[in-house]
């Protein structure tokens, strides 16, 4: 499907009850509104220096997120990858090993939390055309996916954090 012009959407903040809902699965992949939402999420992630963004963060309670890891002021060491929409994602297997790392969230401004995440995960997801993918991700990308998947289940990183620090970005 073609990439339409996206626009930057308002990101809702912790305290908004939409962030605590369980998001609905996508059923109609050809829906024009869904395709526009994906384009808008990509634009919003880039504009806000996010390495990922989930649909509930723009008040759309659907099982959709974008992984958009790239080095930026918020995460200088982030690996580069093209913005990747993941729809109806599920972790089908994971390593025993977890790693603690600092993460933030566009919906929780000014805070970082030290969160344990699985080092390696195998994910099943559909792309924006509805094609099923099964892929292994490690380290920082695996962390982003676990963080974004939490958003689809009403969980924020602060629920899992072992410690907090303030962060200006």
Q: Name which of 105 and 121 has its Cβ closer to Ni ion.
A: 105
Q: Whole-number minimum distance, CB 84 to Ni ion, in Å? A: 16
Q: Based on the residue annotation, tell me whether 148 is a catalytic residue of this protein.
A: yes
21 Rama class: left (phi>0) / alpha (psi -120 to 50) / beta: beta
| Distance of closest approach, residue 50 Cβ to Ni ion, in angstroms | 8
Binding site for Ni ion (CB under 5 A): 105
The nearer residue to Ni ion, 14 or 132, going by C-beta atoms, is: 14
C-beta nearest to Ni ion: residue: 105
Distance CA 152, CA 143 (A): 15
**Closer to Ni ion by Cβ: residue 29 or 74:** 74
Closest separation in Å from C-beta 30 to Ni ion: 28
Q: What is the DSSP string of 66-125?
A: EE-----SS-TTPPP---EEEEEEEEEEE-S-EEEEEEEETTEEEEEEEEEEESEEEEEE
C-alpha 140 chain-centroid distance = 12
Active site residues: 148
């Amino acid at each position: 499907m073609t990439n339409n012009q996206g626009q930057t959407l308002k990101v809702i903040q912790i305290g908004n009850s939409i962030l605590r809902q369980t998001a609905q699965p996508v059923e109609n992949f050809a829906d024009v509104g869904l395709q526009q939402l994906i384009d808008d999420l990509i634009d919003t992630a880039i504009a806000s220096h996010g390495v990922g963004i989930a649909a509930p963060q723009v008040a759309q309670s659907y099982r959709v997120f974008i992984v958009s890891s790239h080095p930026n002021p918020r995460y200088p060491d982030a690996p580069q990858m093209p913005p990747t929409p993941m729809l109806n994602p599920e972790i089908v297997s994971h390593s025993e090993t977890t790693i603690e790392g600092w993460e933030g969230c566009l919906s929780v401004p000014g805070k970082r939390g030290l969160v344990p995440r699985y080092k390696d995960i195998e994910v099943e997801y559909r792309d924006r055309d509805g094609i099923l993918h099964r892929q292994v991700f490690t380290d920082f990308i695996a962390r982003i996916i676990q963080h974004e998947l939490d958003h689809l289940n009403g969980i924020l990183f602060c629920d899992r954090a072992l410690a907090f620090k303030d962060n200006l970005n």
